[in-house]
Amino acid sequence: MATLSQVRAARRADASRCRVALVGLGTVGKSVAQILQGQRDESPLQLTHICNRNVARKQASWVGPDVAWSDDIREVLATDADVVVELMGGLEPAFELLRCALQSGKAAVTANKQLIAEFGLELQQLADDRGLYLGFGACVAGGVPVLSALSDGLAGDQLTSLRGILNGTCNYILSRIEHAGCSFDDALAEAQQAGFAEADPGDDVDGLDAGAKLAILARVGLHVQTSLKQVTCRSIRDVKAIDFQYAAQLGYTIRQISTAVLSNDMIHMAVEPTLVPKNSGFAKVSGSQNLVVSSGQFGGETTFGGCGAGGGPTAVAVVSDLLQAAHRRSYPSRRPARTAVISRKATTDVETSHYLRFVVRDRPGIIATLAGVLSRHDINLDAVLQQPGYSKAELPFVITLEPCATSRLQPALAEICEFDFLVESPVRMPIVT
């Protein structure tokens, strides 16, 4: 039995600890609770409340008796918790929870990329006005501390571009198409069976998930006001096994690449299937691994890589933010100097090399016809590739282009789409050299 002085010491220790209310006990929430419970005695953090809808079915014996359970978010806001962790996902009631938490003087931590991409600036303003901490390190690249590295470790540089692989589902699907030679639909079905893809995979394969992460990355790393609406998102649904064969002939493979580039006072942000060199770091990324490469005016390229998803890695990022919140609570005067975000016009126009794949009903003169259209738009061909052995009724071949502005290529492709020899619309992918 503890002595009176031990109980008093424990109470004093508890009073100095940062009280954490966790909302959303799912994949990430459970891992966060487990880390906090496992470190109970020595940690500056104390898990005091867990909230989830229909909470009774979530209660577990590994959670200590000193944790209060609730299924009412308003109850959490009325507690004496110092920090609220939002791990429900979705825009509402997540936004309202964090807004009310900050308004009532509580710090806030979230792993919710949609929320931060959409309302991050508003919440940050609210937090800054009240001298409170808002942590969202888990929103991008899960367990890879890329946001804190960009905002602190590389604060001395002027970053000009960020390029990354930010979605594990697309990695899995593209790797399966590449190695098993299967269709997109079969690779997606496999990914769903293996638990790597949601029942509704649209956000992942059509680029919206990576787009939200890119908007946050660009805001933090390039100091630009961004929103998901400014990100051009193109799906990986049209990528076929034949594209990997042609890409391999050229020394490349295909990945879903997220790019944010500053140029001429504009910002270009895109998520799209892209040819990357076979010997690059991007080509070696697999499964739930994420990779981000930043380019700075003074420091050159810096690469961040690691586990981009999953309960454990994401929970580590959340708990790291909670430790920051506890630190800010102990040293409230030490507010980090924030670099102002500036407004830049978004542009969809960027100069790059391109890969074009056509499937045609073969007849003489097709390549000359395509070259004619491209030349009229002042676009130079780089290479033409055609593998033998395909039916003339559905013949796939590839043209690669020297660097040209997408604004020049798009009208040329619109003209090309009118030709009756096309079996399907051409597939266009940028090439990263």
Ligand X SMILES: NC(=O)c1ccc[n+]([C@@H]2O[C@H](COP(=O)([O-])OP(=O)(O)OC[C@H]3O[C@@H](n4cnc5c(N)ncnc54)[C@H](OP(=O)(O)O)[C@@H]3O)[C@@H](O)[C@H]2O)c1
Binding site for ligand X (CB under 6 A): 24-29, 52-54, 87-89, 93, 111-113, 138, 142, 309-310, 314
Smallest gap from residue 188 Cβ to ligand X (A): 18
357 forms beta bridges with 398, 427
Q: Does the annotation mark 58 as catalytic?
A: no
Q: What is the distance between the alpha carbons of residues 340 and 157, in angstroms, rounded to a whole number?
A: 15
Pick the closer one to ligand X by CB: 204 or 243: 204
CA distance linking residue 204 with residue 234, whole number of Å: 11
CB of 98 to ligand X, least distance (A): 12
Nearer to ligand X, 5 or 54 (CB): 54
Closest by CA position to 22, among listed 83, 102, 107, 100 = 83
For ligand X, the closer CB: 172 or 358: 172
CB burial of residue 61 (10 Å; 0-12, 13-18, 19+)? exposed
Name the catalytic one among 30, 213, 240, 345.
213
- C-beta of residue 175 within 8 angstroms of C-beta of residue 289: no
| Minimum distance from residue 30 beta carbon to ligand X (Å) | 8
Of 264, 243, 272, 314, nearest to 163 by C-alpha is: 272
Q: Which two tokens stand for residue 352?
A: 């790059």
Q: Closest separation between CB of residue 194 and ligand X, Å?
A: 14
CB 85 to ligand X: min, Å = 10
Select 136 or 184, whichever has its Cβ closest to ligand X: 136
- Judged by beta carbon, residue 213 or residue 329, the one nearer ligand X is 213
Task: For strands 289-296 and 300-307, give the pairing.
Answer: antiparallel
DSSP E strands, 36-118: 45-51, 68-70, 83-86, 107-110
Alpha carbons 333 and 56: distance in angstroms, whole number: 40
Distance CA 117, CA 214 (A): 9
Task: Determine the residue with CB nearest ligand X.
Answer: 26
Tokens of 226: 């961004």
**Whole-number minimum distance, CB 278 to ligand X, in Å?**
28
Q: Are 304 and 149 in contact (CB under 8 A)?
A: yes
CB of 314 to ligand X, least distance (A): 4
Q: Which is closer to ligand X, CB of 87 or CB of 374? A: 87
Three-class HEC string of 262-291? EECCEEEEEEEEEEEECCCHHHHCCCCEEE
Using the minimum distance from each CB to ligand X, give the nearer residue, 67 or 88.
88
Residue 134 and residue 108 in contact, taking contact as beta carbons nearer than 8 Å: yes
Burial 284-294 (b: 16+ CB within 10 A, else e): ebeebbbbbbb
Distance, CA of 25 to CA of 155 (rounded, Å): 34
Q: Which residues are catalytic?
A: 213
